[in-house]
């Protein structure tokens, strides 16, 4: 029986560190730290807005995080430079393994969706630029219900939109917070462990699968037909 695969986008399919080269041109050796902090604050702001029920879309969280990190690290970017960086964030590259894994999983007959906190149009632009848009049946965005992962409502929204019960849904993500949120409502979960130095959150719940690469999913128990 085919499964419904919900692919997280940022940090799973799309490499958010892909902006480092452009940052390097602006700030030299500070670029990797700046990129990491930008991503951390982007997620933090989405969590805080979700808890506060003070929704602004993910692009706003991204822009506010950029402004914050410029101030935190004393990087005086001009308004034009910040606009260019935000534009680049909509054209990040896919991880190399996505180009190999997605057609393999599609050939197995799984129903595949891009599932993201990002605006559907931004996600569509990202996937199109990365050359992986055609593997997905649809894009399901948290913006549709105006909150953010890991709010349980988002995973229930995915089930409704995909017309799939939780027991046949897999969340595939590089982000432990996302996997824990999905597991809490009954999804099966696959952790793409992009950074081998980082442990999974010690909450007493482990992913059903852990892999260093998307390409290993083709032969994973429960996904290989």
Q: Domain with 20 in it: what CATH number?
A: 1.10.150.240
Catalytic site includes residue 201: no
User: 45: domain range?
Assistant: 16-88
Any idea what DSSP says for residue 202?
-
Query: Is pLDDT at 1 greater than 90 in this prediction?
Result: no
Do residues 106 and 173 both lie within one domain? Answer: yes
Q: Can you give the pTM of this predicted structure?
A: 0.94
Domain stops at, among 63, 88, 113: 88
Average pLDDT of 106-134? 96
Same domain, 57 and 21: yes
* Residue that terminates a domain, selected from 71, 88, 105: 88
Determine the pLDDT at residue 220.
74
Q: What 3-state class would DSSP assign to 157?
A: helix
What is the reported pLDDT for 223? Answer: 75
Domain boundary among 67, 88, 109: 88
- Give the count of domains, the chain: 2
Angle, helices 58-72 vs 31-52, to 10°: value is 130
Mean of pLDDT over the chain: 95
Query: Could you say which of 8, 15, 97, 143 is catalytic?
Result: 8
Summarised one tens digit per residue, pLDDT across range 47-99 is: 999 999 999 999 999 999 999 999 999 999 999 999 999 999 889 999 999 99
Residue 224 confidence (pLDDT)? 62
Q: Is 137 exposed, middle or buried (0-12, 13-18, 19+ CB in 10 A)?
A: middle
């Amino acid at each position: 029986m085919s499964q419904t695969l919900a692919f997280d986008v940022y940090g799973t399919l799309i490499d958010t560190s892909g902006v480092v080269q452009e940052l390097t041109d602006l700030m030299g050796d500070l670029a990797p730290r700046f990129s990491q902090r930008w991503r951390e604050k982007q997620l933090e702001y989405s969590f805080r807005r979700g808890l506060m029920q003070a929704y602004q879309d993910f692009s706003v969280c991204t822009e506010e995080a950029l402004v914050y990190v410029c101030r935190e690290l004393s990087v005086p970017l001009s308004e034009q430079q910040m606009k260019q960086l935000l534009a680049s964030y909509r054209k990040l590259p896919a991880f190399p393994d996505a180009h190999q894994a997605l057609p393999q999983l599609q050939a197995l007959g799984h129903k595949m969706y891009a599932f993201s906190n990002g605006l559907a149009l931004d996600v569509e632009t990202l996937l199109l630029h990365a050359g992986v848009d055609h593997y997905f049946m649809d894009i399901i965005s948290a913006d549709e219900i105006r909150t953010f992962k890991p709010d349980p409502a988002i995973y229930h929204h995915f089930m409704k939109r995909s017309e799939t019960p939780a027991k046949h849904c897999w969340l595939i993500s590089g982000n432990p917070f996302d996997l824990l949120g999905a597991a809490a409502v009954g999804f099966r979960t696959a952790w793409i462990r992009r950074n081998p130095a980082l442990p999974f959150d010690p909450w007493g719940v482990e992913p059903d699968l852990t892999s260093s690469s998307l390409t290993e999913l083709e032969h994973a128990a429960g996904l290989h037909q």
